[in-house]
């Protein structure tokens, strides 16, 4: 009789397993359609920021670290989540890996929103106090900020592996399913959700609207500020600050010779903003506004995709079983966590649609064409042979000789004379910005906007 019962149960089990096979196959196919673009897209983002000189700034270093987090989600988190779908309800890997997988899942998800929060704060400070902020936006200091973001994220996620190692029942239910059990992590779920999502989300929203308001204010000042008067010491300070440490004595001498016509006998003189300078300042504000819109889209998509999961996660603790069916909560969390995973693959798509530099770089990398990076290196090597004393024709001949065979168009070359002019224009923009940021008390604040 026992043998008959065992045979009957085995047939039922096999029948259920056979019915679930097509469903599991479709789920596996859908998850693969999420995993592969996530990995490929974030690799392209990392390559673009690493190789494209135009993209190497403080904000994009944060975006590259964010891409690393999203890439690691695609490599370590999503594939194991796919295995749990295929082998449900059992955990298919060694038990010790369950705590590590849960830790990485929380770590990378937390670091994503922490990166976005850090980006919003860093951009707001850079736009409000650019001269002061530029002193702290060196590559080394940016890397330190990124390291702090990762440390904070790890600190939020570390209770899971500690509790899981001490008590395996905290991460395994009676069906041997790997998950964060509500009864063991009740306080962690509440405070972890607040620290990892809701607080950074509130900060991001406030900072984003402050940034938009500040950019609108600066745009208004550019359009409506009347001409002001500056003393010669201010002008000299501006021009001296604008000359970078890499300038040779010959370049400095050339700048000084070009500055001489500006000399006047009096200590004060009127400086009228030229239309070209005003246009350049306005273009800078426009670029900042465009960048803020792109980052705003990234913020919105991330929040839109992760908000349902964190709301359901908190509801699983606060909502009593009589009012909230635990099975429904579990099903919703399984769906919403994959919606959150999709956000890891969305950012490269946003960059492609709204940023031409990213779009061009991605197109070249997909074709295995890294000529853009190679051209920059060739130009650097050739620039050492260029001389301010050579005529433009001689320098152009040199750049064409060494560059045309490497795919460099002569238009890409900027002569020393043009370089000198560009430095003077940047000084004029800074002067214009100094005029625009004079406060009501007559005190001049040093502000300039970087993209």
pTM of the model: 0.70
15-24, 172-181, 404-413, 439-448: which range is least confident on average? Answer: 439-448
What rounded mean pLDDT belongs to the chain? 74
Query: Could you give the CA distance from residue 178 to residue 250 in angstroms, rounded to a whole number?
Result: 68
% pLDDT > 70, the chain:
64
pLDDT value for 160: 93
Which residues are within 8 A (CB) of 185 and not within 5 positions of it... i.e. 6 or more apart? 159, 160, 163, 170
pLDDT value for 312: 94
pLDDT value for 279: 57
Tokens representing 242? 């604008």
Average pLDDT over residues 389-395: 52
Average pLDDT over residues 417-431: 43
Average pLDDT over residues 147-158: 96
> pLDDT of 269-289, one tens digit each?
444 444 454 555 666 677 677
Phi/psi-derived region of residue 259, left when phi > 0, alpha when psi is between -120 and 50, beta in every other case: alpha
22-31, 65-74, 323-332, 405-414: which range is least confident on average? Answer: 405-414
The CB-based long-range contact list for 5-8 (8 Å cut-off, 24+ gap) reads: none
Residue found by looking up tokens 């650019």 in the block: 130
pLDDT value for 62: 93
Question: Where exactly does CATH 1.20.1070.10 map onto the chain?
Answer: 20-224+278-367
> pLDDT of 183-221, one tens digit each?
899 999 999 999 999 999 999 999 989 988 888 887 777
pLDDT value for 374: 45
Query: Could you give the CA distance from residue 129 to residue 291 in angstroms, rounded to a whole number?
Result: 18
Are the CB atoms for 308 and 4 separated by under 8 Å? Answer: no
Average pLDDT over residues 285-300: 78
Which residues are within 8 A (CB) of 93 and not within 5 positions of it... i.e. 6 or more apart? 80, 83, 101
For residue 11, pLDDT over 50 is answered with no
Phi and psi at 55, nearest 5°, equal -95, 0
pLDDT value for 197: 94
> pLDDT of 79-92, one tens digit each?
999 998 888 888 99
Regarding the domain delimited by 20-224+278-367, which CATH topology (the fold level of the hierarchy) does it fall under?
Rhopdopsin 7-helix transmembrane proteins (1.20.1070)
For residue 46, pLDDT over 90 is answered with yes
CA-only gyration radius of the chain, Å: 29
pLDDT value for 4: 38
**Highest-pLDDT range among 9-13, 131-135, 431-435:** 131-135
> pLDDT of 54-100, one tens digit each?
888 888 999 999 999 999 999 999 999 999 888 888 899 998 899 99
pLDDT value for 67: 95
Query: Could you give the CA distance from residue 347 to residue 119 in angstroms, rounded to a whole number?
Result: 14
**Highest-pLDDT range among 3-12, 332-341, 423-432:** 332-341
For residue 177, pLDDT over 60 is answered with yes
């Amino acid at each position: 009789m026992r043998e008959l019962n065992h045979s009957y149960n085995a047939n039922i089990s096999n029948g259920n397993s056979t019915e679930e096979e097509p469903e599991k196959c479709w789920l596996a196919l859908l998850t693969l359609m999420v995993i592969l673009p996530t990995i490929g897209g974030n690799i392209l983002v990392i390559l673009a920021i690493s190789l494209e000189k135009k993209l190497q700034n403080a904000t994009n270093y944060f975006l590259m670290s964010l891409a690393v987090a999203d890439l690691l989600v695609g490599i370590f988190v999503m594939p194991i989540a796919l295995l749990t779908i295929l082998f449900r309800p059992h955990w298919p890997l060694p038990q010790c890996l369950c705590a590590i997988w849960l830790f990485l899942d929380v770590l990378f998800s937390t670091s994503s929103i922490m990166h976005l929060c850090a980006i919003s704060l860093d951009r707001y400070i850079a736009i409000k106090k650019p001269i002061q902020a530029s002193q702290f936006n060196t590559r080394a200091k940016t890397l330190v900020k990124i390291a702090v973001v990762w440390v904070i994220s790890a600190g939020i996620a570390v209770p899971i592996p500690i509790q899981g190692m001490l008590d395996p029942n905290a991460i395994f239910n009676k069906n041997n399913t790997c998950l964060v059990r509500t009864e063991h992590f009740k306080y962690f779920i509440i405070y972890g959700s607040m620290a990892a999502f809701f607080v950074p989300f509130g900060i991001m929203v406030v900072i984003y609207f402050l940034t938009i308001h500040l950019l609108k204010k600066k745009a208004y000042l550019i359009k409506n500020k009347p001409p002001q008067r500056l003393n010669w010491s201010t002008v000299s300070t501006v021009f001296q600050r604008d000359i970078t440490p890499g300038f040779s004595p010959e370049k400095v001498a050339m700048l000084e010779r070009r500055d001489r016509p500006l000399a006047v006998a009096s200590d004060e003189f009127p400086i009228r903003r030229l239309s070209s300078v005003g246009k350049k300042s306005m273009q800078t504000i426009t670029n900042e506004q465009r960048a803020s819109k792109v980052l705003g889209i990234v913020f919105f998509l991330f929040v839109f995709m992760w908000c349902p999961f964190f709301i359901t996660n908190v509801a699983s603790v606060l909502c009593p079983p009589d009012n909230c069916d635990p099975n429904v909560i579990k099903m919703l969390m399984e769906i919403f966590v994959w919606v959150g995973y999709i956000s890891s693959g969305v950012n490269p798509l946003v960059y492609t649609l709204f940023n031409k530099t990213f779009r061009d770089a991605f197109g070249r990398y997909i074709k295995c064409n890294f000529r853009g990076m190679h051209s920059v290196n060739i130009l650097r090597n050739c620039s050492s042979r260029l001389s301010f004393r050579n005529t433009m024709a001689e320098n152009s001949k040199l750049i064409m000789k060494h560059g045309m065979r490497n795919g460099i168009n002569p238009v890409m070359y900027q002569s020393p004379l043009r370089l000198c002019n560009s430095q003077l224009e940047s000084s004029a923009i800074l002067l214009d910005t100094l005029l625009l940021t004079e406060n009501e008390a007559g005190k001049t604040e040093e502000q300039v906007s970087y993209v």
